[in-house]
A and B are shown apart, each in its own frame.
Chain A
């Protein structure tokens, strides 16, 4: 049973090598790389852009995901729900390359989306979607939506149907029921799902690379560039280590928040 420790530990050992100045054999440890990253304005732009992307994607996933999660959670019959969930899981079982490639087809100038838009008369000519931020957002939302839906679905199922019926019987219309009952009681799932999607979004590499192209530079692409193209391993390592710390902090904070929330909710 101790065997499975070894592999992940090995990888973590690497982190300690990140402070080398140049190459991996350099024995002098320095923080120069970190300083470089944190002080150069150019990199700030990249970070900001990545965070922006993450937030936009998370928000869209929330808005699109909640209705779907709600109807799935309220579907009667476990066979139907099982089928619906499986349909949701199916994209997760296909490689991110396939999905992103599919989006390049859809978003291209001769792609389906443009064909639909011009066909319906919504735009005069083909809209530039590929190699833009908008396109990246759309594709990332599609890729990450199942995660959000599954998180939300799990928590909505814990909100007893009776509570909604009680609210309705007391005079609350559909919108009120949502605001007063469903949303507050789903917050743990909303938080968990959002954090998950956010982390996955800012760590996304393939989709921004294929859809956004070199124009949308996000942290993962920056790291890849530094590591494989410029071959400045230490610098790439420094960036990714900072990134890792950020992610871990975020996870820790969320876990803490969820735990205290659960205690507040009590047994019920």
Chain B
């Protein structure tokens, strides 16, 4: 396990900078379901943290608690060092971008964007230029007098963003803002939102179920499941060194192979997967021999090599037979079956070599450093 990777509790030593947003043991239930389970979270000035997880994991509820639309059953919310748990939404200095944009249909684009400024009693003379500047920032020059229904989905989304940032909030909240856009537009907007947020330096909390979004946009990702943050860390930390089985499976593709602990050798453990013995690291601390669990292995970490010749050092080797091949344009996904063992997914970039036909006998290798063992049944 990588020493810098973090589990559910944020590491106190690494973030000494004052927190712009802090949630302390925030807990919320609806009826008998626990939506948010004693959650802790800290955001420092200017960082974008993504709350990533499947539907129902509590990420939206957490966002709404930060916004003030839900009151937690217990726990505290702090903003800019001051307690905010009991503060009503209109007194927190926040900007929200909703999934369905929530633009006021009976107001023009300009009035929509100006709304927050008017509520803050900014003088009219100042409002007009600020609105125009912000609209220019999101590439919507000259549309101030149009109505939301006259704009395309992408344009409406930008208005929503403009409305949220023009007031220079302390915290920007995004509630799956890109889900309603088509794939192409989504990619474009990801980059734009990110650069906008960086440029303005506003702390942001971004809720999404799309891992690509989280991976490409966030400074840190908090992977949530059933009301709990299972891991929080940078994209690399979360992807390469998942702390739990859930994180490994949710972020990116992953093979899970049933394995039994045979022994421990320093950093690595020996595991038997079917007839094969492999060495990988542990997700948590070392465990005793005989423990049953699974080895998580990313398809792109596995290489298909020539059956003859020396296997690379510090690697696991296994014999297998290809079953199936799916073409993804830039890469191939091979389904291979280990001899007397389970099936695996292997990902190989397209190169000069011809694709392998089903039934070909191959040798697969992967470094000891890749892959993690998790206890428990998959």
Contact between chain A and chain B defined by CB under 8 Å: yes
A residues at B contact (CB < 8 Å): 160, 162-163, 165-173, 176, 180-181, 184-185, 265-268
Give the docked Cα–Cα distance between A266 and B95 (Å): 27
Q: How far is the CB of B118 from chain A (nearest CB, A)?
A: 9
Question: B69 contacts A165, CB within 8 Å?
Answer: yes
Q: Mark B94-113, 1 if CB is under 8 A from A, else 0.
A: 11101010111110000000
A168 and B102 within 8 A (CB) = no
Q: Are B90 and A171 in contact, with the CB atoms below 8 A?
A: yes
Whether B104 and A166, one on each chain, are in contact in the complex, defined by CB atoms closer than 8 angstroms, is yes
Nearest opposing residue in chain B for A170, CB measure: B116
Distance of A55 from chain B, by nearest CB (Å): 27
Contacts of A265 in B (CB 8 A): 105-106, 149
Q: Residue B148 at the A interface, CB < 8 A?
A: yes
**Cβ of B100: which chain A residues have Cβ within 8 Å of it?**
160, 162
The answer to whether A268 touches B105 (Cβ under 8 A) is: yes
A169 vs B120: C-alpha distance when bound (angstroms): 12
Interface residue count on the B side (C-beta < 8 Å): 29
Residues of A within 8 A of B90 (CB): 168-173
Q: In the docked arrangement, what's the CA distance between A162 and B163, Å?
A: 14
Q: Residue on B with the closest CB to A184?
A: B106
B199 interface residue (CB < 8 Å to A)? no
Closest to B112 in A: A166
CB distance from B171 to the nearest CB of A (A): 11
Q: Is the interface of A mostly helix, strand, loop or mixed?
A: helix
B247 CB within 8 Å of chain A: no
9 pairs of residues in contact across A and B, judged by CB atoms under 8 Å: A163-B104, A165-B67, A168-B69, A169-B68, A169-B90, A171-B91, A172-B90, A181-B104, A185-B105
B206 contacts chain A at the CB level, 8 A cutoff = no
Q: 1/0 contact trace for B61-91 toward A, CB 8 Å?
A: 0000001110000000000000000001111
- CB nearest to A265 among chain B residues: B105
Q: Is the CB of A169 within 8 A of B95?
A: yes
Q: A165-B67, A176-B119 provided; 18 other pairs, C-beta below 8 A? A: A165-B69, A165-B89, A166-B102, A166-B104, A168-B90, A169-B92, A169-B95, A170-B116, A170-B119, A171-B119, A173-B90, A180-B104, A185-B105, A265-B149, A266-B105, A266-B149, A268-B105, A268-B149
Is there contact, CB below 8 Å, between B119 and A166? no
Is B67's CB under 8 angstroms from A169's CB? yes
Looking across the interface, which residue of chain B has its beta carbon closest to that of A177? B90
Set of chain A residues within 8 Å of B115, measured between Cβ atoms: 167, 170, 172, 180
Q: Does B246 contact A (CB under 8 A)?
A: no
Residue numbers in B under 8 Å from A168 (CB-CB): 68-69, 88-90
Cβ-defined contact, B119 with A172, below 8 A: yes
- Chain A residues with CB under 8 Å of B95's CB are 169-170
A-B contact count (CB 8 A): 71
B102's partner among A163, A171, A266, A267 (CB-CB below 8 A) is: A163
Using Cβ atoms and an 8 Å threshold, which residues of chain A touch B98? 162, 165-166
> What B residues does A267 contact at CB under 8 A?
149
- Chain A residues closer than 8 Å to B167, beta-carbon distance: 170-171
Q: Which residues of A are found within 8 Å of B67, using beta-carbon distances?
A: 165, 169
Contacts from B to A (Cβ < 8 Å): 67-69, 88-92, 94-96, 98, 100, 102-106, 115-116, 119-120, 147-150, 163, 167, 173
CA A104 to CA B144, docked complex, whole Å: 59
B120 touches A171 (CB 8 A): yes
Q: Which A residue's beta carbon lies closest to that of B96?
A: A169
The answer for the CA separation of A133 and B226 in the assembled complex, in Å, is: 61
Q: Say which residue of A162, A176, A185 sits within 8 Å of B106 (CB atoms).
A: A185
Neighbouring B residues of A171 by C-beta, 8 Å: 90-91, 116, 119-120, 167
Q: How far is the CA of A184 from the CA of B107 in the complex (A)?
A: 10
Q: What's the minimum C-beta distance from A32 to chain B, rounded to whole angstroms?
A: 51
A173–B92 CA distance with the chains assembled, in angstroms: 11
Residue in contact with A169 in the complex, picked from B94, B103, B149, CB distance below 8 Å: B94
Instruction: Give, as a whole number of angstroms, the nearest-CB distance from B157 to chain A.
Output: 13
Closest to B121 in A: A171
With a cutoff of 8 Å between Cβ atoms, the chain B residues found around residue A185 in the complex are 105-106
Q: Is the CB of B89 within 8 A of A169?
A: yes
B-chain residues with CB within 8 Å of residue A165 when the two chains form the complex: 67, 69, 89, 96, 98, 102
**How distant is B154 from chain A, measured CB to nearest CB, in Å?**
16
Once the chains are docked, how many angstroms separate the CA of A172 from the CA of B106? 16
Bound: A167/B150 CA distance, A? 21
**7 cross-chain pairs, A with B, having the tightest CB-CB distances, nearest first:** A171-B119, A170-B116, A162-B102, A266-B149, A268-B149, A166-B102, A168-B89
Residues in B whose Cβ lies below 8 Å from that of A163: 102, 104
Chain B residues with CB under 8 Å of A172's CB are 90, 115, 119
Residues of A within 8 A of B147 (CB): 266
In the bound assembly, the distance between CA atoms of A251 and B149 in angstroms comes to: 29
Q: How far is the CA of A58 from the CA of B159 in the complex (A)?
A: 39
Complex CA–CA separation, A168 to B173 (angstroms)? 14
The docked-state distance in angstroms from the alpha carbon of A160 to that of B103 is 10
Alpha-carbon distance A185/B120, docked complex (angstroms): 23
Interchain nearest-CB distance for B64 vs A (Å): 9
Q: Which residue of A lies closest to B100 (CB)?
A: A162
A170, A180, A184, A265 — which one has the most chain B CB atoms within 10 A of its CB? A170
* Cα–Cα, bound, A184→B150 (Å): 19
Q: How far is the CA of A162 from the CA of B90 in the complex (A)?
A: 14
Task: List residues of chain B with CB within 8 A of the CB of A170.
Answer: 90, 95, 115-116, 119, 163, 167
Chain B hits for A169, CB < 8 A: 67-68, 89-90, 92, 94-96, 173
Q: Which residue of B lies closest to A166 (CB)?
A: B102
Q: How far is the CB of B228 from chain A (nearest CB, A)?
A: 25
Given the complex of chains A and B, what is the CA–CA distance between A268 and B103 in angstroms? Answer: 10
User: In the complex the two chains form, what is the Cα distance from A183 to B361 in whole Å?
Assistant: 72
Contact A268 B94 (CB under 8 A): no
* A168–chain B nearest beta-carbon distance, Å: 4
- Minimum CB–CB distance from B174 to chain A (whole Å) comes to 12
